[in-house]
Amino acid sequence: MDILAFVPQFGGFLYTIASFVIALSVIVAVHEYGHYIVGRWSGIHAEVFSIGFGPVLWSRVDRHGTRWQIAALPFGGYVKFLGDADAASGKDAQAMQAAADDPEHLRRTMHGAPLWARSATVAAGPVFNFVMSVIIFAAVAMSQGVMRDPLTVGDMAPLPGVENGLQQGDELITAGGLPVPSYLDTEAWEEFRKALPQQQPLDYQVRREGSEHSVSGPYLYPPYVRGVVPRSAASDAGLQPEDLIVAVDGAPLVSFDQLKEHVEAADGKVLVLDVLRGGETVEMALAPRRTDEPQPDGGFATRWRIGIIGGLAFEPATDKAGLGESLAAGAYQVWAVVGTSLSGLKHMITGAISTCNLSGPIGIAETSGAMASQGAESFIRFIAVLSTAVGLLNLFPVPALDGGHLMFYAYEAVAGRPPSDRAVRVLMSLGIAIVLSLMVFAIGNDLFC
């Protein structure tokens, strides 16, 4: 047996684990820092700020008396406030009894602080996750800029063997004899895209340096791979960004839509793709998989997909985006992730889509590695999406999660007194059981779906 044959696989495994740990550690650090800093501002003392669980690898105590530490198991973290019995903020009855006679000391405990301070401290974790996501999405939007209108040619995709008279800076007037609408008008653009004659090359009328020119160029939406969806048929088969799919089962392709038609008509049967990569043609076989895709109306549609992302034959030219515009775009993307997640959960509960859409730690780790391998921007965007999901999950009204604590505080605000310690213990145990059951179910999805 050749031991060296396992080295690339082992290296890929380590890369996946490292990507997952980095992504999770950043998200957990931001989440827990939200709890910590708002708690400190609210007058609640934090005893421990920990990234990870288990044996402590490194620690130091700051001037506020908080121990900052990194533990051996980097799959989470916590802030332990004064008066907490554990990382889940269960009440330490003995510590609270000892603090009962000292109002100043009691005020510095998590369970002796005013309701507003406790609520703000607990809510701050998810809020910080959302804020981080908005900032990341805004930074990406600012770096990418705002697409020019009318549509203007930027960097061309490498499309070997395809006639191309388009140049960077060309403003598209017509394509295939059809007027080019505003790319920002979604409905008009979709009608234009569907009406385009599927031919290679395609005739264009462009405005170049103030004058109009007739040129020939590649089909506007070629079967070109701009991205590969992690854990998809394309990813498993080895398709890569910048691949050009020139044929399916021997039938030549001009457009991405033709590729989609072949994929959907296959009904899950194996397809053989001819892929142009680096000047050479590579043959790949893969079977499309059923995928539940979110729709604009908030529902889901099940389609056969191989898991690649297409796009225009060129990167649209952009102009610099302002801070306000970028922040608005970031907030919109966070809201879109939240909306899609809640819609997906609802459709899974009602049985409208498969519960296999729920990923566990194994699936998230694989996605982390795949996104990291596609570049820093893809990985950072993935962190923003995952941070939004973590913030949303923690707001669910399940005891042991932040939302569960906020539910207890809401009861206290209405009833004028907190729930009994016994009721809290029972509900916390139930909440932990729910979270663990969900984790086991998600891991089962990772392994068997």
Catalytic residue among 32, 280, 283, 315: 32
| Cα angle 406-409-415, degrees, rounded to a multiple of 5 | 145
Residue 32 appears among annotated catalytic residues: yes
Angle at which helices 323-350 and 376-394 cross, to 10°: 60
Q: Count Cβ atoms below 10 Å from residue 287 Cβ, excluding itself.
A: 15
Vertex 7, ends 3 and 8: CA angle to 5°? Answer: 140
Distance separating alpha carbons of residues 398 and 304, to the nearest angstrom:
35
Q: Given the structure tokens 């105590």, which residue do they identify? A: 61
337 backbone φψ class: left, alpha, beta (φ>0; ψ -120 to 50): alpha
Apex 402 CA angle, 401 and 405, nearest 5? 95
CA distance 359 to 368: 12
CB distance 16 to 375 below 8 Å: no
Biggest CA–CA distance in the chain, Å, is 87
- What is d(CA 446, CA 360) in angstroms, rounded to the nearest whole number? 6
Cite the active site residues.
32
